[in-house]
Amino acid sequence: MDVLWAPWRLDYILGPKPDECVFCIPQHTEEDEERLILVRGEHCFVIMNKFPYNNGHLMVTPYRHVSCLTELTDEERNDCMLWINRAVDVMNRAFSPQGVNMGLNIGEAAGAGIAAHMHFQIVPRWNGDSSFMAVFGETSVIPEHLLSTYRRLKPLFEEYQA
């Protein structure tokens, strides 16, 4: 198979590349769905990855533009951990994964795609999700449209703010 249907990729391919940091978000919430921001905490926010490794791939990102964990205040680190915990809970309820990968890549050499603004990766995993597509084709298959996933997860995150 040479072609996979991934309609959200067309915006990335054809659209202009942002000059500003994609993790430096505006204070207003009018663009939250477009940006796939699920919830805003006191010092960080939870956002979906627009180019996910697996369906439901989330990121927890501090508001402040910092590149290293050691640059965060205690309050920022605590808020990030709180929302990482909540993101895993939401992920478990929404997708029932058999496992979860979590990580923080600090610096380009460590694999950080956006090294200037740190972000924690949270990826649901299932036995066998590294199928022949990932092994031979270096391709992930995402079974659900990003906005469908967003609309499924958003109410679960809102329960924490009620």
Active site residues: 119
| Distinct helix (H) and strand (E) counts, the chain | 5, 5
Residue 16 is given by DSSP the state P
- Can you tell me the distance from the alpha carbon of 95 to that of 55, in angstroms, rounded to the nearest whole number? 9
- Can you tell me the distance from the alpha carbon of 74 to that of 71, in angstroms, rounded to the nearest whole number? 10
Contact 48, 147 (CB under 8 A): no
Contact 47, 36 (CB under 8 A): yes
Tokens of 131: 């199928």
Burial zone of 162 (CB within 10 Å; 0-12 exposed, 13-18 middle, 19+ buried): exposed
Tokens of 98: 């058999």
